[in-house]
């Protein structure tokens, strides 16, 4: 899945590159959370790192609304297949701007 790293930057699909950089940023900031439900796993981005003790991260009424949970989902895994990652990496080595004619 991570073959995009061996593709030259000029050839990479910008959408695939952006998705991977966003996931990498969230992991580096310790903002990825997940829950495993057996064969199904959900990964979502948290508003704050689990390492901080800011009031925004600890006070219950400052937490995000439950109705917006679907907007924070980053990845869905079912039986080891990561759906969003597979969708974003379709044609990872095809840069659409190379196909435009001037």
β-bridge partners, 82: 77
On the question of pLDDT at 100 being above 70, the answer is no
Give the number of other CB atoms < 10 A from CB of residue 51.
9
The residues near 72 (Cβ < 8 Å, ≥ 6 apart) are 44, 45, 46, 64
Average pLDDT over residues 21-38: 88
Average pLDDT over residues 73-97: 82
Each residue's pLDDT tens digit, 6-19: 777 777 778 888 88
Taking the whole predicted model, whether its pTM rises above 0.85 is answered as no
């Amino acid at each position: 899945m991570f073959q995009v790293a061996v593709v030259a930057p000029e050839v990479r699909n910008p959408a695939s590159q952006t998705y991977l950089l966003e996931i990498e940023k969230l992991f580096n900031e310790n903002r990825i959370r997940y829950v495993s439900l057996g064969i199904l796993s959900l990964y979502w981005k948290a508003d704050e790192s689990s390492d901080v003790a800011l009031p925004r991260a600890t006070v219950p009424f400052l937490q995000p609304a439950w109705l917006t949970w679907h907007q924070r989902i980053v990845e869905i895994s079912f039986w080891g297949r990561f759906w969003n990652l597979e969708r974003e990496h379709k044609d990872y080595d095809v840069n659409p701007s190379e196909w435009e004619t001037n």
